[in-house]
Structure 1
Amino acid sequence: MLSITIANLNFLFSWRPYQAKVLENFSTHINDNHFHIVAPPGSGKTILGIEIIKRVGKKTLILAPTLTIRNQWEDRLQNFFTTDCNFKQISFDIKQPSDITFSTYQALHSFYKSFETKEGYYNFFKKHQIEVLLLDEAHHLKNAWWKCLYDLKEQHIQTVVALTATPPYDSEISEIQKYFKLCGEIDDEIVVPDLVKEHNLCPHQDLVFLSKPEDQEINFITDFRLRVAQFVTDILNDKEFISFLKQHRFYAKTEENLEELYRFSDFFSSLLIFLHEAKETIPIEKLEVLGFDKKEKIEFPSITNEWVQVLFQHLLVTDRDYLLEHEVYLNTLEKRLRKLTVFSKNKVNLVGNELLYKSLSNSPSKLKSITTIVQQEQQNLQDDLRCVILSDYIRKEYLNCSLPEIKEIKKLGVVPIFHHVRTTTKNKSTLAVLTGSLVIIHSSNIAKIGLIDAIDNYNYTPLKSDTEYVILTSKNSSKHTIVEAITQLFELGHIKVLIGTKSLLGEGWDAPSINSLILASVVGSFVTSNQMRGRAIRVDSKNPNKVGLIWHLACIDTSDELGGRDFEILARRFNAFLGISNDEKAVISNGIERLHLPTSFIDKDIQQQNKKTLELSKNRDLIAQRWTNAICKGKGVIKELTFYNEKNEQFPKQKKLYYQDIVKYIVGEIIIGLSFFIPEFIIKNFNVLLQKGVVYFLLALSSALGLTFGYKIYKSVQLYVYFGLIHKKIDKMAAAILESLHDLDHLTTPLDEIQIKTELLAEGNVSCTIHGANRYESTLFIKALDELLQPIDNPKYLLIKTNWLRKKLKLNNFFPVPEIFSARKKECQIFQSHWNKHIGKSKLVYTRTMNGRKLLLKARLFHIHNVNNELTKKNVVWK
């Protein structure tokens, strides 16, 4: 039979509704020679990609991040677009391309480097008339890989097709810009709720299983915190150290070192805060350089480990060369910090985040969590269980551990997990390991491999620590075939619990039957976590009622009220994907808040939460029903920024005025007060009215009102002028940002099609959502608003609100100009003009000058007088 050409490829099945919708708009999107699609795992991106190649109809180079994903492309092409797998114009060798060439990013980069000149590289593709690049999992394209592709696009390639589940929004802005320069703006997007609605992804839920550090870890953490606390206490009372600080040129000769002082404003702030905490009186001239005057009340922040860390980092590292005359004393300080294990590789770390994180993220307590989850899921699903456990490392050194040694394993990894599960499960024959360099199966499954592939293709070596298991290797050294064989055993149910590495199974590996995924990985990036999670949410044609559970592990630092660094990394991971909330009235959103985990972490809370989690896992039907209910409530996803007030406990009374509608609050309070005060005043002073007349009586009433209500009204008006109506103010800020984005050509959607909605929520929180914009535009908008509302860090430009009343009340509102408007002064001025139009007069300050750094330092040090000291949270919500 004759082979077919690209133009004759024909999809053999029916398009899913959302795929058909994407293809309907193809001709419009391809006008700029870019087609950029965002779609989650399981949405059929590969099939869409092949159809797009067919429609373009030119020689194409398809690039993927791994060989597994590369091979899937050829498999999908032959099985979904040909009747007899007879498309022959393909190649897997980039040096010998065909009509469609499948390769990897690594192979292309190596090929690029093999040319002596770039012109030779470009001419190769021109000679072979390859005019289309298809970039699969395009979020991988950064730096070196990006360079060889972008140069090729600029010199020769006509069309770029980019497919990804997760644009790298959490990367540096320069990397994001590179990504979009190569891939083009996002043309279309398929979202998880749409896919669940169309039954192309299964209902699913993320579950967090908490563990408490083992005694040794608790002792390590507690001892660390106590030693650091004692050090801070001691150093605050150390007269020699205080004297040393006061001799520092920034303090002793402030006026002479202004330029350098403003360059290291963090250090100068830490120095002043430390001395203030040590009960030293700070001379006003030291504060005048920051812009404070003698009449201004200055409230210093309390000293924290972070501030002390900044102080010592500068003294022992940054400023060391300028303090040579104090080298003997600095050596003494350094030894003290090294003894505390808080100074290493020229870095002071009094907070202990990374040190404690390494301890908690690989805590052996997670091994117990995994065995508990596996046992629960075995009860929940029994013969239907298809559980995958993903970890970062193999840990082959533990392969032949005896039973007593297994209990002493202190590291997380594939082999430690395997040992813990095999020694606690009753279903040993259904347990297996699949990694790139280690495959373990139960001996009873050897014969079953013969049903899938020739047994002679494999070698079997009994596992020394448990001879019921064998180490499986392929005689032809093909990892591809052994992965396929184990995958088939898993799909058929001979293997029910499969332990592997995220590098092999986390991206591109396809096993639709997975209904329970345990993420024993400490990776926290947006991209990787979303890819791993995607393994469990695919539909399974053999199990139409599948509900997937994704289990996340966190070891709680009980000495930290927020749960510690491991929990913080987990929370960050949850920002990467949409999911269902645990409310009775379920909502689909991103973020860990939807799970309603404890706000504090003590032993009792951890145990109760885990009990609730295990109970929830039993009722998969309830999870499916919540998805159905939530999907019916919305039409699409929108970006939302939530502005919180409850996490900052300073000035609770002012907060009440700040967040509740201040006008209503003031008027209501005064009316209630007057309704009691005036009648009582008239009754008590009626004789004054009769004896001295109306004028005298009104003067007395005015004086009494002034004495009783005057200060309250004054403070309320001051707060109103200072803070304003916050939800309305955020609405005005949002308008200024949106119009600036439009004027600077960052928007492709017409301005009149985009709406901003700001709402005052319960407990004084404020939400701002953007409707009608595409995902890229929404991301730019939310990021800019978030920067505007976050505590001031080190912006290039500041806006200072100015008017006559503020000057009289000595009020200073500082706002950072968002980064997207800060590249050039002209762009800042465009933003400022929209700010002035919506919010009021302002002064634009460039912070890289002497005066600018002075104001920046004042804004940061004087942060409790700054409106944007609150915390914000970026969300994606189905509405």
Structure 2
Amino acid sequence: MSTSIANLNFLFNWRPYQAKVLENFSSHIDDNHFHIVAPPGSGKTILGIEIIKRISKKTLVLAPTLTIRNQWEDRLQNFFTTDCNFTQVSFNIKEPSDITFTTYQALHSFYKSFEDKEAYYNFFKKHGIEVLLLDEAHHLKNEWWKCLYNLKEQHIQTVVALTATPPYDSDNSEIQKYFKLCGEIDDEIVVPDLVKEHNLCPHQDLVFLSKPENQEINFIAEFRLKIALFVTDILKNTEFISFLKQHRFYAKTEENLEELYKFSDFFSSLLIFLHESGETIPIEKLEVLGFDKKETIEFPSITHEWIQILFQHLLVIDRKNLVEHETYLEILEKRLRELAVFSKNKVNLVGNELLYKSLSSSPSKLKSITTIVQQEQQNLQDDLRCVILSDYIRKEYLNCPQSEIKEIKKLGVVPIFHHVRVSTRDKTSLAILSGSLVVFHSSLIAKLGLIDNIQNYNYTPIKSDTEFVILTSTTASKLTIVEVITKLFEIGHIKILVGTKSLLGEGWDAPSINSLILASVVGSFVTSNQMRGRAIRIDNQNPHKVGLIWHLACIDTTSEFGGRDFEILARRFNAFLGINNNNNTVISNGIDRLQLPTNFIDEDIQQQNKKTLALSKNRNLIAQRWENAVNNGKGVIKELTFYNEKNKQYPQLKKLYYQDIVKYTVGEIIIGLSFFLPEFIIKNFNILLQKGIVYFLFVLSSALGLTFGYKIYKSVQLYLYFGLVHKKIDKMASAILESLNRLNHLTTPLNEIQIKTELLAKGNVSCTIHGTNRYESTLFIKALDELLQPINNPKYLLIKTNWFRKKLKLNNFFSVPEIFSARKKETEIFQTCWNKHLGKSKLVYTRTINGRKFLLKARLFHIHNVNNELTKKNIVWK
């Protein structure tokens, strides 16, 4: 007898974090969306089936692969029925049942088979399918998104989305599409939850650094030198300066205001360039930006980014309007192409992609891999289960002679295999596993015979080392080669497995992995997180497993911050939640938790690598840190950090940013007075005796004014401008919270919510919100981030004003967060809350000509704009 969806019943006990998700389910499903983020190993599939059961409507379940599709039916029968008797399932989308399991690819093919798309929608209406469940929702591609989104709009009532990693690093339009289909994230199961419940093992990310080889360093240095010479030359080029001055934005500014404000970046770059080249900018050009004749104007220094904006506009965006100058533009374009900074209609003077391609695939990473493997062999001995993932196979190097291995200059499966093979003390445990190439040591043929009949396979020795053979299977084998090699790896006959991320990065399961080396340079947050997930799963055969995930970065030693390869790696770490390397262990995201160098020019990379290798030796310490951290914290909270020390543009303010402004200036004045007063009194004691105390005090006050007056004036000015930074942020946070409450964005009572703002080292400030649900904390952090980020193109601006500011010609510009900008009435409520907590302000609508003037001034020219600092959104377990 079959069972209806509503009668499905989970046969086991829910894990605490699963129970918490289900407890909140009814409140989240009110908008007919349920979007959950959960890492591999958290039981997403089980949760998905329970959600289907609770909704109790006909459901279409979509998975990225056939293997994952089949897992859904397996989990349903084995975890929700006593004798696998649920029959209302289908794997055929053309013949749907109560629950239909299929793939995104199959649905897309089905969609394309309908010439009349109305018939496609009617098919689902006819069969009464009202629920879409999207598994591994981050896989959604453009073509898949369309057939799903249209179906949702036309008919589907409810969308349930499950993912391990939302595609945060896609472009903005892709992210918007993703959330348009899946809805906002309702709940999240995080890694600490799973480690605490022993569903994931303790683990640590380690970054191993390498320096570019001489050839690469020379390439980078030559590129930077060529660009520097070009910039120096173009700033003195009278023909180019004359060409810029003829541009309509400069020559006829007043006649082109509307277009000028639309392309404010370009106009600013034009003025900054002309100023840097020695031209005097007429005041009427600056009045367009909102400056008056009495105002002292400090131009930002010219940078490669400003010149990039300038040429991008001239050669691409505005080119159709510069037809009369086309011959000259072709000369400029040719020059930039020769410098390799203009390609695919994009100007890039920084050379990000060009230099990244060189560094990310640097052969120096091959040496890093062999060093790591040797260290891990020493650390774990026979217990080592190491997987090395790369993007490409590079079969052309398979039969490379022994003498030429060190000359291989490309990263890939085969080059890694060769480098490890010639450097390892036990090459019999080394193998390659990819979709089209499988190689293992010939001594393992006998071991393979214990798993499958050796006659089912062909063995072809490789020329570079005949001890290794290429393994291919015959049709007689019931097991796939992947299954056979995986079993040999799990048993421990293979200890080092080199493969492609496409085969082993997702879906492949080998719980014994305790060391993962990511030599992949092509990919995203999503793929990085999926690959990382291989190493952090628990191993029932090894309850004390601690997984290490090794990340490789080739450092651009000519760049203070390490260059593009390190920058991209650091960005990916925003998706990884793990323990830090401090004695006071905290779980958070971001690369800062690893305490890597902040300045790579002066840092000894070799010394840093020694620290990393030493850390890898003590897996017990890593396990202990996890235990301490998960037990000391209750759950994840969102945190916004405001980084003062990253202000590189305006060094005159940097000194004051590093410390609380008042403490700094008062301290400085007190120290000055402690030296000044005794000396003054001794030298002028005769005046006190001859002319009396009143005259003496007059002389003293005059001397103090002359000596300390300007310093006190500047301190007061800066204090009035910046306030106490951390207290100002606390007040901003309070204004946002009150606004969210007054506009009914909060369901949590206000008295249960607490904001904590903390002054950190170097003048950095962190702000966290406690007591809210995930959605509310997301709204809060997003709004605060928009207030503190550099001004982009907000609908409304707040200008902080008072009598002192007007007298001192001071302004603070702030973007009104998007959530308060939809309607003017809501914006005014935010302004009221702002005025209550931070004092009077002026509200400016930036979609008018006058408003654009304020916006342009706020964005690009006000040297004292506090918004030029950077912020970072963190997730912290506390």
Pick the TM interval, shorter chain.
over 0.9
- Offset of 1:58 from its aligned partner? 4.6
Gaps of 5+ in 1: none
- Offset of 1:586 from its aligned partner? 1.8
Q: How does 1:284-295 map to 2 (within 5 A)?
A: 284-295=283-294
Contact preservation (8 Å) 1:267, 1:310: yes
Matched AA of 1:300: F
Matched AA of 1:628: E
Contact preservation (8 Å) 1:212, 1:603: no
- Closer/same/farther in 2, CA of residues 111 and 847 from structure 1, 3 Å limit: same
Moved more, 477-486 or 177-186: 477-486
CA distance in 2, matches of 1:403, 1:30: 62
Residues 431-478 of structure 1: CA distance to partner in whole angstroms, max 9, x if unpaired?
233333333333444454454456566555544544444444455599
Q: How does 1:575-614 map to 2 (within 5 A)?
A: 575-602=574-601, 605-614=604-613
1:62 paired to 2:53: no
- Offset of 1:479 from its aligned partner? 12
TM-score by length of 2: 0.92
Q: What is the aligned partner in structure 2 of residue 710 from structure 1?
A: 709
- Closer/same/farther in 2, CA of residues 772 and 84 from structure 1, 3 Å limit: same
SS in 2 for 1:103: strand
Moved more, 290-299 or 316-325: 316-325
Gaps of 5+ in 2: none
SS in 1 for 2:572: helix
CA distance in 1, matches of 2:851, 2:58: 56
Q: What is the aligned partner in structure 1 of residue 860 from structure 2?
A: 861
Moved more, 183-192 or 688-697: 688-697
Q: What is the aligned partner in structure 1 of residue 566 from structure 2?
A: 567
- Offset of 1:197 from its aligned partner? 1.7
Contact preservation (8 Å) 1:788, 1:815: yes
SS in 2 for 1:281: coil
1:517 paired to 2:516: yes
CA distance in 2, matches of 1:532, 1:296: 56
- Closer/same/farther in 2, CA of residues 122 and 59 from structure 1, 3 Å limit: same
- Closer/same/farther in 2, CA of residues 145 and 294 from structure 1, 3 Å limit: same
- Closer/same/farther in 2, CA of residues 305 and 671 from structure 1, 3 Å limit: closer
Matched AA of 2:222: D
Contact preservation (8 Å) 2:186, 2:774: no
**Over the residues paired in the alignment, what is the CA RMSD in angstroms?**
3.1
1:41 paired to 2:40: yes
Matched AA of 2:582: D
- Figure out how many residues of one structure are paired with residues of the other and give that number: 878
- Closer/same/farther in 2, CA of residues 678 and 396 from structure 1, 3 Å limit: closer
Contact preservation (8 Å) 1:34, 1:161: yes
1:810 paired to 2:809: yes
- Offset of 1:409 from its aligned partner? 3.0
CA distance in 2, matches of 1:675, 1:400: 78
- Offset of 1:734 from its aligned partner? 1.6
Moved more, 536-545 or 706-715: 706-715
Moved more, 790-799 or 563-572: 790-799
Matched AA of 1:504: L
Moved more, 806-815 or 697-706: 697-706
Q: What is the aligned partner in structure 1 of residue 202 from structure 2?
A: 203
- Offset of 1:588 from its aligned partner? 1.1
SS in 2 for 1:807: helix
Contact preservation (8 Å) 1:598, 1:605: no
Matched AA of 1:338: R
CA distance in 1, matches of 2:448, 2:276: 70
- Closer/same/farther in 2, CA of residues 226 and 447 from structure 1, 3 Å limit: same
- Closer/same/farther in 2, CA of residues 460 and 79 from structure 1, 3 Å limit: farther
CA distance in 2, matches of 1:323, 1:185: 44
CA distance in 2, matches of 1:406, 1:733: 60
Q: What is the aligned partner in structure 1 of residue 776 from structure 2?
A: 777
- Offset of 1:746 from its aligned partner? 4.2
Q: What is the aligned partner in structure 1 of residue 761 from structure 2?
A: 762
Matched AA of 1:779: T
Aligned-residue sequence identity (percent) comes to 86
CA distance in 2, matches of 1:326, 1:179: 43
CA distance in 2, matches of 1:619, 1:455: 40
CA distance in 2, matches of 1:714, 1:849: 37
Residues 494-552 of structure 1: CA distance to partner in whole angstroms, max 9, x if unpaired?
22222222233222322211111111112463322222211111111110000000000
- Offset of 1:191 from its aligned partner? 1.7
1:166 paired to 2:168: no
Contact preservation (8 Å) 2:756, 2:767: yes
- Offset of 1:416 from its aligned partner? 2.6
Matched AA of 1:818: P
- Closer/same/farther in 2, CA of residues 846 and 60 from structure 1, 3 Å limit: same
1:232 paired to 2:228: no
Q: What is the aligned partner in structure 2 of residue 137 from structure 1?
A: 136
SS in 1 for 2:863: helix
SS in 2 for 1:875: strand
Q: What is the aligned partner in structure 2 of residue 846 from structure 1?
A: 845
Q: How does 1:162-561 map to 2 (within 5 A)?
A: 162-171=161-170, 175-176=174-175, 178-453=177-452, 460-475=459-474, 481-523=480-522, 525-561=524-560
- Offset of 1:578 from its aligned partner? 1.0
Q: What is the aligned partner in structure 2 of residue 726 from structure 1?
A: 725
CA distance in 1, matches of 2:449, 2:531: 30
- Offset of 1:319 from its aligned partner? 3.0
CA distance in 1, matches of 2:680, 2:424: 81
- Closer/same/farther in 2, CA of residues 153 and 286 from structure 1, 3 Å limit: closer
CA distance in 1, matches of 2:834, 2:136: 39
Residues 204-260 of structure 1: CA distance to partner in whole angstroms, max 9, x if unpaired?
000001111122211111111111111112222223333333333333333333333
Residues 658-699 of structure 1: CA distance to partner in whole angstroms, max 9, x if unpaired?
564444555555566666666766666566566656654554
Contact preservation (8 Å) 1:659, 1:725: no
Moved more, 369-378 or 58-67: 58-67
- Closer/same/farther in 2, CA of residues 75 and 729 from structure 1, 3 Å limit: same
CA distance in 2, matches of 1:724, 1:233: 39
SS in 2 for 1:423: helix
TM-score by length of 1: 0.92
Q: What is the aligned partner in structure 1 of residue 92 from structure 2?
A: 93
Contact preservation (8 Å) 1:19, 1:48: yes
SS in 2 for 1:864: coil
- Closer/same/farther in 2, CA of residues 557 and 260 from structure 1, 3 Å limit: same
Moved more, 5-14 or 353-362: 5-14
Contact preservation (8 Å) 1:587, 1:630: yes
SS in 1 for 2:550: strand
CA distance in 2, matches of 1:131, 1:325: 60
CA distance in 1, matches of 2:836, 2:478: 64
Moved more, 559-568 or 661-670: 661-670
SS in 2 for 1:407: helix
Q: What is the aligned partner in structure 2 of residue 618 from structure 1?
A: 617
- Offset of 1:568 from its aligned partner? 0.2
- Closer/same/farther in 2, CA of residues 771 and 431 from structure 1, 3 Å limit: same
